[in-house]
Amino acid sequence: MNIYLDNCSTTKPREEVIEEIIYALREEYGNPSSLHKMGFNVEKKIEEIRNNIASFLEVNKDEIYFTSGGTESNNMAIQSIINKHNRIGKHIITTKIEHPSVLNVLKDYEEKGYDITYLKVNDKGLISLDQLKRSIREDTILIAIMHVNNEIGAIQPIWEIKKVLKGKNSRALIHVDGVQGFGKVHIDPKGWGVDTYSFSGHKIHGPKGIGGLYINKEIKLNPIIFGGNQERGFRSGTENVPGIMGLGKAVEIMEKNFEKEQNQVNGIKSYFIKRLGEEIDHIHINSPMNHKSSPYILNVSFEYVRGEVLLHYLEDKGIYVSTSSACSSRGTEKSHVLLALGLSNRMIEGAIRFCFSYENTKEDIDYTIEILKKSVEEIRQITMR
C-alpha cells in the first residue's frame, strides 16, 4: 500500500497525460519549425494548447511562452526584467520565503551590486502590505513575490500589490512565481496587474521538464536565450512537443475538474487536521489555518521528533512525505521558510510537509494517522529518555 503525500514536490501524471505523451512521441514527431505538413501539424497543435492555457489564465495567447519548467520561467522573467530596466534603477523587492529559483538568482544580482529588500513575513508566512509600501523606492524596478508558498502553503495577497504600487512607482514590474498556485487556487494575472507569471507541468499531474511563462505584452522583454527564434524569439530551442502536449492535456483536465478537486482536497486536508489533533499531542501547525492557505499544503511540526527520522519511519510503511522543498531538501541547511516564521530549532527539525491531491482518500488519511501516531510515539520514547 503506497500513500503519496508529497504532491508539492511532484505529482503523479494522469493516465490521459501519459497516453498523450506516448501519442506525441509516436505520431507527432515533426519539428514545428519545418515547412512541410508534419511540421505544420505539430505547430498547429502547440498553438491550440497555447490558446487553451491563455484562456484558462484569461490572457492573450501571444503572452504565453513554453519553457522547461518553473525554475527556468522564474530565471527568465527576473533576468529579462533586470537586464532591460537596470538603467532605471537597481532596487528589487522580494520576500524571505521565496523558492530557491528566485532567491538564488537575486543573490547573484546582489553580489553584482543590486540592492535587494527582503520582506519579512509573520508567523504564518504572510507579508505586510504596509512594509511593502514603505520599501518601494523611485529606483525599484522589480517586485518578485510568490503566490503560494511551496513549504507552508501561505497565499500572498498578489491582487493588492499593484494597488500598493500606484502613486509610489509606476515603472516597477511585478513577477509572480505561480508554480504552486497554478491550477490549484484562483489566479488572475492580468486582472491583478501581474507582469510575469510562472507555472509548471509536473505540479498539476503533467510531465516534468515543461512549464510556461506569462509575459504581459505591454512590457516588451528581451530574451536571455538565443538561437533559432522559437517562441517568438523569446525562448529559442526546438520545442518539447511531447511535454507541451502532456501539459496541454493536464491543463484541459485540471480546468474541467478545478472546483470539484479543490473542494475534495480541502475536505481531505480538513479531515487530516481533525484526526491529527485528536490522535497526536505536542504538534504545531505551521501553515495558515484559513482561506490564506492552499488546500493542497499542510506543514506540521512534531515536537521531540526529527523530521527526517519520521519521514523514513513513514516511508517504511508506504507513506511518502517531505521535510521541505524537494528542490533543496538534500542539503543540510534548515528550511529558510520556517526560519523566517520565527520557529525554534526544535520546531524546524520536527517539521513535515504533507501535500495532498485528488487521489487521496479518507482511508489514506486514517492509515497515515495510525502510522504517524505509532511512529511519533516510538521516536519520542527514544529521544525523550
Q: What is the mean pLDDT of residues 187-216?
A: 98
CA distance 216 to 227: 23
The pLDDT confidence band at residue 350, using thresholds 50, 70 and 90, is very high
Task: Give the pLDDT confidence score for residue 252 in this predicted structure.
Answer: 98
| pLDDT the model gives residue 269 | 98
What is the structure's pLDDT at 318?
98
**Residue range(s) occupied by CATH 3.90.1150.10 in the chain:** 3-11+258-384
Q: Which residue has the higher pLDDT, 357 or 328?
A: 357
For 67, 218, 252, 261, the CA distances from 17, given in Å and listed in that order, are 18, 33, 10, 17
User: For 3-11+258-384, CATH number?
Assistant: 3.90.1150.10
How high is the pLDDT of residue 236? Answer: 81
Beta strands in 180-252 (DSSP E): 196-200, 211-215
> Is 90 exceeded by the pLDDT of residue 220?
no
| CA–CA dist 137, 133 (Å, integer) | 9
The pLDDT, as a whole number, for residue 246 is 98
Angle subtended by helix axes 100-111 and 70-85, to nearest 10:
30
- Mean of per-residue pLDDT scores for the chain: 95
CA 309 to chain centre: 26
> Could you give the angle at the alpha carbon of 192 between the alpha carbons of 186 and 194, nearest 5°?
105
Query: Which pLDDT value is given to residue 22?
Result: 98
Confidence of residue 327 (pLDDT cuts 50, 70, 90): low
Per-residue model confidence (pLDDT) at position 40: 87
Q: Which amino acid is at 124?
A: K
- For 229-268, the pLDDT digits (tens) are 888 878 888 889 999 999 999 999 999 999 999 999 999 9
Cell representation of residue 365:
488519511
Listed residue (74, 89, 199, 201) closest to 144, CA to CA: 74
pLDDT-based confidence at residue 330 (cuts at 50, 70, 90):
low
Point out the least confidently predicted range of 32-36, 148-152, 204-208, 311-315. 32-36
Reference 69, options 252, 253, 326; nearest CA is: 326
Q: What is the pLDDT of residues 67-95, one digit of tens each?
A: 999 999 999 999 999 999 999 999 999 99
pLDDT confidence bin for 4, thresholds 50/70/90: very high
Q: How confident is the model at residue 328 (pLDDT cuts 50, 70, 90)?
A: low
pLDDT score recorded for residue 238? 84
Mean pLDDT of the 170-179 span: 97
In angstroms, rounded to a whole number, what is the distance separating the alpha carbons of residues 116 and 272?
39
Q: Which residues are catalytic?
A: 327
Q: What's residue 234's pLDDT?
A: 83
For residues 354 and 269, what is the distance between their CA atoms, to the nearest angstrom?
9
Enumerate residues 6+ apart whose C-beta is below 8 A from 214: 57, 59, 63, 64, 65, 189, 194, 196, 197, 198, 199
pLDDT digits 0-9 by tens, 125-164: 999 999 999 999 999 999 999 999 999 999 999 999 999 9
For the chain, residues classed under CATH 3.40.640.10 are 15-253
Helix (H, G, I), strand (E, B) or coil at 66: strand
Domain at 15-253: CATH code: 3.40.640.10
Mean pLDDT of the region 46-62: 98
Cβ within 8 Å of residue 130, ≥6 positions away: none
Give pLDDT, residue 256. Answer: 97
Q: What is the pLDDT of residue 324?
A: 72
> What would the grid cell of residue 332 be?
543540510
Residue 357 near residue 296, CB atoms below 8 Å: yes
Question: Mean per-residue pLDDT for 359-381?
Answer: 97
Range from 96-100, 166-170, 214-218 carrying the lowest mean pLDDT: 166-170
